[in-house]
Amino acid sequence: MAKTREIKKRIKAVKNIQRITRTMQMIATSKFAKSQSRAEATKPYTEGIFELVQELAATAGNVSHPLIEGPVGGFKDDAKPLTLVITSDRGLCGPYNGSILRTAIKHLRADKAAQGGPVEVVGKKGVAFMKFNGVQVTRHHTQFGDRPEFEDVQELAENYIELFQAGRITGVNLVYMRYISVAKQAPSVVQLLPLKPPAIEAEAGGMTAQYEFSPDAEGLLAELLPETVKTTLFQAFNDAVVSENIARMVAMKSATDNAGKMGKALKRKFNRARQAQITTELTEIVSGAAALG
């Protein structure tokens, strides 16, 4: 009797967990749809402005800018690259945070300059991991949340641009989960600063577009390059949110399916225990009747 009662309690607990995980899966699915539309809406602008900078830099000739070449007066003696790691505030999202943080640690160990440089983290999970691994977190960003706003990202990008142009840091590297498709997300390390757009190679026999700049190329790049840094950083935040929601959606679906399988297994176990209990009781009744007869 005690055994069947215990199994019934476990079945009830598993059903409660299954209801919770199914609800969390539905919430993650809803958030994923919204965050995906935001990420895909901003991607054409990010790619468009990057391609425009490519073409201008390729056709303007020898045009230099501090965001490409570094500060005019050079870097400070103690300047080192800054590393920004984007993680989540909450768990229950499968290997999402683990993949990002392993990539971040690998990057820091491979780059000796980055080891002694400032490390900034977005998300509570990243802070706890870095503290456990003995990595000092210079700054913990808590202002972004599940829906990062462009104004907040712009403020952060302007801060990085100011530090870079002042020569206080030699660069900025982003470590985040890049959203490729619904089926594929990859932990990536992206160099945000210095900004070095790849050169455009002219095709054999092809025509190269000729531009007449108004205002001059230097003035245009002075406006476009900071904008490129801001949009690239904002796209990274949007990709990270989408990837987190996908990971949580998949993890909660897996948890729901596993709870269902466990519930079926416990039900079979309960039926066997109940049958054994009934058989035992019948045996005792028959034995008692035989003894009295």
Which one is predicted more confidently, 103 or 281? 103
Question: What contacts 196, CB < 8 A, 6 or more positions away?
Answer: 68
Contact 82, 111 (CB under 8 A): no
Which tens digits make up the pLDDT trace of 112-146? 889 889 999 999 999 999 999 899 999 999 989 88
Q: Which two tokens mark 92?
A: 């229950």
Q: What is the mean pLDDT of the chain?
A: 87
Q: Which two tokens mark 50?
A: 């990057």
**Mean pLDDT value of segment 235-242:** 95
Contact 49, 223 (CB under 8 A): no
Q: Measured between alpha carbons, how far is 84 from 148 in angstroms, rounded to an integer? A: 15
**Mean pLDDT value of segment 170-186:** 94
Residue 55's pLDDT band, with cuts at 50, 70 and 90, is confident
Percent of the chain predicted with pLDDT > 90: 57
Count other C-beta atoms under 10 Å from residue 181's C-beta: 7
Q: Measured between alpha carbons, how far is 243 from 238 in angstroms, rounded to an integer? A: 9
> Residue 121 has what pLDDT?
96
Which domains, ranges and CATH numbers included, belong to the chain? 63-199+211-244 (3.40.1380.10)
Residue 166 has pLDDT above 50, yes or no: yes
Q: Which two tokens mark 192?
A: 């945000």
Q: Measured between alpha carbons, how far is 169 from 180 in angstroms, rounded to an integer? A: 30
Residue 56's pLDDT band, with cuts at 50, 70 and 90, is confident
Angle among Cα 179, 155, 220 to the nearest 5 degrees reads 85
Q: Measured between alpha carbons, how far is 13 from 267 in angstroms, rounded to an integer? A: 13
- Supply the Cα-derived Rg of the chain in whole angstroms: 29
Residue 46's pLDDT band, with cuts at 50, 70 and 90, is confident
> Residue 234 has what pLDDT?
95
Which one is predicted more confidently, 1 or 249? 249
Residue 217 has pLDDT above 80, yes or no: no
**Mean pLDDT value of segment 279-292:** 82
Residue 293's pLDDT band, with cuts at 50, 70 and 90, is low
Residue 213's pLDDT band, with cuts at 50, 70 and 90, is low
Percent of the chain predicted with pLDDT > 70: 90
Burial of 274 (0-12, 13-18, 19+ CB in 10 A): middle
Residue 238's pLDDT band, with cuts at 50, 70 and 90, is very high
> Residue 59 has what pLDDT?
67
Lowest average pLDDT, out of 46-55, 109-118, 190-199, goes to 190-199
Q: Which two tokens mark 99?
A: 């993949």
119 beta partners: 83
> Residue 292 has what pLDDT?
79
Residue 218 has pLDDT above 80, yes or no: no
193 beta partners: 172
> Residue 108 has what pLDDT?
93
> Residue 208 has what pLDDT?
54
